[in-house]
Structure 1
């Protein structure tokens, strides 16, 4: 018990122990003094055997109190992890299944060495996709699934997902370690999601090209138009 209940319990316990001590002390004193007059009592008071007897009783009562106290609750053993909680290996993939994102590495590189395009020069980009998995897998690399986007600051300039005709899907088989490579050329004109007939030319400045496939990101390439 804890709190007030525990205090009451120990007060009662100590009261009983003190009462026992008093009774034992009285009996010991009566036996030692006997009842033969003042000289006998004086002899008992000067005897050094009374003090050790009392000390021994106190030590015995202290030991009794410590030994008969309510046992402290033992800490419950920590729950051991069950066998079912152990991590199970992922099932083996079969050839031809869709590629997992964890097995794909997507990257983009600018085709120009100096990354500065003057006059009518058109920026080119090289996109690579590599399967690092253990078996061949399939992936959609169409213009909607694999988006290359060009921005300038917060301005969205051009994207491959704009004005795509047809289904826009292109499923490729990726063997382990054999990269899929796509080369893109930008005509230096803006695009829009509403497919306007007139596409204005991009102004000179600094631009950023990025590539993405769902949750995958392939870095970015910075280039300049002059």
Structure 2
């Protein structure tokens, strides 16, 4: 009768013992490999050909967070620098987030103000007689400019009294300046000529 200590078979008992040792070592190797996969030793060093790099920190933000001061660039523009007689200037506003994360700015008509001056005289102000001003929160993605639809200025003076008849402004080579504010943010100064 064959037992663990006394194997019975056509081969000598030493052959059976060697086979048992080989099988036992194979089972032990499999167990060690499985344990190493699931329980990697701490402080192990990676192979020499694998470079360990620390990823750069990623700036995170909630897009609904208000844009930080100094992050948004306000650009005023006219479609031409000189206008022929009878041509009306078309004005645009462009907002650009110069930061690294998306942010939100109120760019509604409650915050926008367009002013056209010549010398020290104010000729046109978009706030004069403005009706139905609204807030308009806008999400600005980093370095992706957002522009308004062009506004056409009809070369007339605005007034706080909301006169139905508005006077034409001087032309014939007169120089004017456009400036836009959005809340506390100020645009560049744009000069143009009316012939």
2:62 is matched with which residue: 94, 100, 106?
A: 94
Match of 2:163 in 1: 196
Tell me, yes or no, if the aligned pair for 2:124 and 2:156 is still in contact at 8 Å.
yes
CA–CA distance in 2 between the matches of 1:165 and 1:122? 22
CA–CA distance in 2 between the matches of 1:170 and 1:192? 25
1:99-138 alignment runs, 5 A limit: 99-112=67-80, 115-138=81-104
Q: Count matched residues.
A: 134
Match of 1:222 in 2: 191
Tell me, yes or no, if the aligned pair for 1:140 and 1:146 is still in contact at 8 Å.
no
> After TM superposition, where is structure 1 displaced by more than 4 Å over at least 4 residues in a row?
none
Given the two structures, how large is their TM-score scaled by the length of structure 2? Answer: 0.62
Tell me, yes or no, if the aligned pair for 2:71 and 2:97 is still in contact at 8 Å.
yes
Tell me, yes or no, if the aligned pair for 2:63 and 2:139 is still in contact at 8 Å.
no
Q: Specify the structure having the higher radius of gyration (Cα).
A: 1
Q: CA deviation at 1:171?
A: 2.1
Structure with more contact order per residue of length (Cα contacts < 8 Å, sep ≥ 6) = 2
Kindly report the root-mean-square deviation, in angstroms, between the aligned alpha carbons of the 2 structures: 1.9
Stretches of structure 2 that go unaligned for 5 or more consecutive residues are 1-59
Tell me, yes or no, if the aligned pair for 1:143 and 1:160 is still in contact at 8 Å.
no
Given the two structures, how large is their TM-score scaled by the length of structure 1? Answer: 0.54
Q: CA deviation at 1:116?
A: 1.7
CA–CA distance in 2 between the matches of 1:168 and 1:154? 30
Q: CA deviation at 1:93?
A: 4.2
More helix by share: 1
